[in-house]
Amino acid sequence: MTSVWDRLERLFDALLGLSASERILLSLAAVVAAIVVGMGIILAAGSMAACSSPKLVVFGVQFCYDPIEVYTVLIGGAFGNSYNVAATLQRTTLLLCTGLSFAIAYKGGLFNIGAQGQFVLGSLATTVVVLALAPLAPTGVAGGALLVSAGVLAGCVVGGLYGLLPGFLKVQYDTNEVITTLLLNFIATAVAFVLVDRYFNDETVQGTATESIPDVATLDPRVFPQGSEFSLPVFVLALVVVGLFFYLLTRTTIGYDIQSVGTQPKAAAFGGVSERFTTLFSMTLAGVIAGLGGAIFILMVLGRWQSGAPSVGFDGIAVSILAGNNPIGLIPAGLLFGALDSGSQAIEFQLDVPGELIGVLQGLIILFVATPELFRMLGSHLDRRGTVDLRNEGADR
């Protein structure tokens, strides 16, 4: 009997390349493992916290947080009403950009830890360009279109240049890109802060922030209610970008070159692929797409640059790793992390459980995803004992 699983597996493999189904299984297992370990952490933290009415009492030990309740509220906070869904999809849109940024570099054998910095500088460039052009632009839809496209272009260009920098240092001076991209994040945050503080600060608001961009340049909510700061067409656009990257990587020469440099650098060099060029190209592209995320963040979400950008750059690394660095896999992975992010606020407000917990959960997911061997060993162990028969169900009968 060919099981549904087998057919699904063949479908996935045809769609995503060999062993994609194994990756999906591993990612699911990693998420489940992280949730289970997360429960332990919630219980442990709950036994340390002080509260007047404990949620659980087991053998005289008081637990202030109930893990089931935390996860229930988390899911409700992510999908409970249309505002929550909008918040989840909004975060997903940004994570798709930064996730792609990591994925494209990773495919070329590089670690781009710098999406955060590219995102921050890209968002600043978008804001500055839109604010500068606003007085010159015609009114109405034409002006809006002009400002939005100029803003997006500025974000992509600046993000791309900031991605090119560590790529250039890598090919020219053999500088380790893990370290440079990481440190460039700290530098980008400080530089953007200083630029705004010195030259673009809006004195009428507290803290360091630019003026708001004009309404014609903002991407208004579509389909979802007003005030949700999420526009469905932008999400669709992000999905199209994901599709384009999938096409680029699997169906074009440059995509093939990038992948061959990433997996078989010696063979690629022998085959005449320029490692220098693919490194520069994939790092620049990584920066462009992270900068696009920054542009979307300004045009759709915030409407101005202000200090304290969300950590979508770092979360994007997690999303990409969870997705096995496959563009298509980014969609479910981005959705999961988007949901975790928007749900974290609900557990903080409704349950008084620190939202930082979500960061731990995300880190655990990466740790488990990085460790496929753990689940393979676990799987074969259970297999031998005959308790679970996961993949050979069809074949054995």
Partner 1 sequence: MSVLGRTTLKWGLLVVAAIGALFVGQFLAPAGSVTAQVFDALLTTSYASAVLRVSVPIGFAALGGIFAEKSGVINIGIEGFLVLSALSSVVAFHGLAEAGVGTTAALWTAFLAGILVSVAAAAVFAVFVIRYEADQVIAGLAIWLISLGVAPFVSLVLFESVNSPSVETFGTWRIPLLADIPGIGPVLFDASPMVYLLLVATPVSWYVLRHTRLGRRIRASGENPRALDTAGVSVSRTRYVGVLLSGVLCGIGGAGFTLGQLGRFVGAGQTSIDGRGFLGIVAYLFGNYNPITSLGGALLFASFDSLQLRLQQISELDVPSALFGVLPFIVVIVVLTLIGGTRLPAALGQHYDDEE
- Residues of this chain that interact with partner 1 (CB under 8 A) are 41, 45, 48-49, 111, 113, 169, 173-176, 178-180, 182-184, 186-187, 190-191, 193-194, 197-198, 314, 317-318, 321, 354, 356-364, 366-367, 369-371, 373-374, 377
Please calculate the CA angle 234-240-241 and round it to the nearest 5 degrees. Answer: 90
Q: Identify which of residues 79 and 193 has a Cβ nearer to partner 1 in the complex.
A: 193
Q: At residue 374, what are phi and psi to the nearest 5 degrees?
A: -55, -50
Task: Name, in order, each residue with C-beta under 8 angstroms of 235's C-beta and a sequence gap of 6 or more.
Answer: 89, 92, 93
Q: In Å, what is the CA distance from 62 to each residue of 48, 55, 160, 217? A: 9, 8, 52, 53
Minimum separation from the CB atom of position 179 to partner 1 (A):
6
CA pair distance 85, 90, nearest whole angstrom: 8
Tokens standing for residue 136: 């010159």
Helix 232-251 and helix 82-107, axial crossing angle in degrees, nearest 10: 20
Minimum separation from the CB atom of position 54 to partner 1 (A):
14
Minimum separation from the CB atom of position 353 to partner 1 (A):
9
Minimum separation from the CB atom of position 137 to partner 1 (A):
31
Dihedral (Cα; 119, 121, 123, 128), 10-degree rounding: -170
Q: Identify which of residues 62 and 212 has a Cβ nearer to partner 1 in the complex.
A: 62
CA pair distance 319, 337, nearest whole angstrom: 7
Q: In Å, what is the CA distance from 181 to each residue of 22, 156, 186, 286, 316? A: 31, 17, 9, 11, 14
Q: Identify which of residues 11 and 179 has a Cβ nearer to partner 1 in the complex.
A: 179
Q: Identify which of residues 152 and 361 has a Cβ nearer to partner 1 in the complex.
A: 361
**Half-sphere CA count of 275, side-chain side, radius 13 A:** 16
Minimum separation from the CB atom of position 10 to partner 1 (A):
28
Minimum separation from the CB atom of position 354 to partner 1 (A):
4
Minimum separation from the CB atom of position 364 to partner 1 (A):
6
Q: Identify which of residues 225 and 363 has a Cβ nearer to partner 1 in the complex.
A: 363
Q: Identify which of residues 332 and 354 has a Cβ nearer to partner 1 in the complex.
A: 354
- Give the position of tokens 């970008």: 241
Q: Identify which of residues 318 and 328 has a Cβ nearer to partner 1 in the complex.
A: 318
Give the residue among 39, 87, 13 at the shortest CA–CA distance from 344.
87
Residue length of the chain: 397
